Amino acid sequence: MMSIQTLEQFIIEQQAQFPTAKGEFTRLLQAISLAAKIVHREVNKAGLADILGKHGNCNVQGEEQQKLDVFADNHFMDALKRGGECCYLASEEHEDGIDLTKGKHYRLGKYMVYFDPLDGSSNIDSNVSVGTIFSIYKRKTVEGELDKEDFAQSGRQQVAAGYVIYGSSTVLVYTTGRGVDGFTLDPSIGEFCLSHPALTIPKDGHVYSVNESNYNQFSSAIKHYLQYCKEIDPTTNRPFSSRYIGSLVADFHRNMIQGGIFLYPATVQYPKGKLRLMYECNPLAFIAEQAGGKATTGRMPILDIDPKELHQRTPLIIGSEKMVDMVEKYIHEYADVETSLV
């Protein structure tokens, strides 16, 4: 009979490889997994409880909050505050981050956590997969209040990142820069169990994910790439299949398993891109690269972007390496045709 390794056991085993580790990071990941279990429970009984529908407020992006947005945000915030490992928390649902080095929430923690508590929540009423995305940094300053250098860290300086997808099963995927591992929640024992060890994304694929209703707002390069995807060519398995769920985590996770590419490029309406760098693009880019994939704006790696503000937006092209390379080839080829969008 195959032995089962839980997330907690896996984390402790990994921690043992670092004799100087004090357990703070282990407790931080345990807090994230606890909050994910609570959100899983609510998502799975959403049709039976008064948890569906709009909350009545808008977040900082001007998007209508769903009740589950607020529920997930509250529980992740509470779990991350409680242990004392964090010095800063930032969420899609708040205009400003919470600096835990001052005020009533004072903590001496060393970790900064950025997260999207419920990505794709507008789909929850339709019973479509949704997810949580998180990104973890270690503060640069040693003590006292946080400084600008703590907030100026690029995605390359993440110490960990991950996501949770709440679908037919609930799966937590994360990396600490030593590969990618996935854990599936076993409801019978209430534990995440290792199900996808050493997860890698196929080098190539035949699925593309993009909101094609924005086609007329795309650059010439992106339009030509999408035409390439639809051309018949048996040697490259084209035409490719179009699969777009509308939940970033769900689209990304499918491509991680099967191979493929997700595109949310710049548009006329969003010339700087629409997805958020700190708590959507950076963590998924870190995971993609650790799994052998690639993530870019079309002109530069996502992880090399210098952050300027908490809710900074960026174009995102992410997935199987060869497919991303092809998009970059088109962007380079049409650079002189249209320079306003990538």
Please state the residue numbers annotated as binding site for Mg(2+): 92, 116, 118-119, 280
Which residue carries 């956590």 as its tokens? 113
| Cβ burial 49-84 (10 Å sphere, 16+ → b, else e) | eebeeebeeebeeeeebbbbbbbbbebbbebbbebe
Whether 35 and 75 have beta carbons less than 8 Å apart is answered as yes
Whether 65 and 53 have beta carbons less than 8 Å apart is answered as no
Beta-bridged to residue 163, according to DSSP, are: 133, 173
Binding-site residue positions for substrate: 119-122, 211, 244, 274
Q: What share of the chain is helix, strand, coil (3-state, %, to 5)?
A: 35, 25, 40
Whether 30 and 80 have beta carbons less than 8 Å apart is answered as no
Amino acid at 189: I
Give start and end residues of each alpha helix (H) in the chain.
Answer: 7-15, 24-44, 67-82, 148-151, 220-230, 248-258, 282-290, 321-333
Binding-site residue positions: 92, 116, 118-122, 211, 244, 274, 280
Q: How far apart, in whole angstroms, are the C-alpha atoms of residue 128 and residue 250?
A: 9
Q: Which two tokens stand for residue 237?
A: 């398995």
Supply the angle between the helices 248-258 and 282-290 in degrees, to the nearest 10: 10
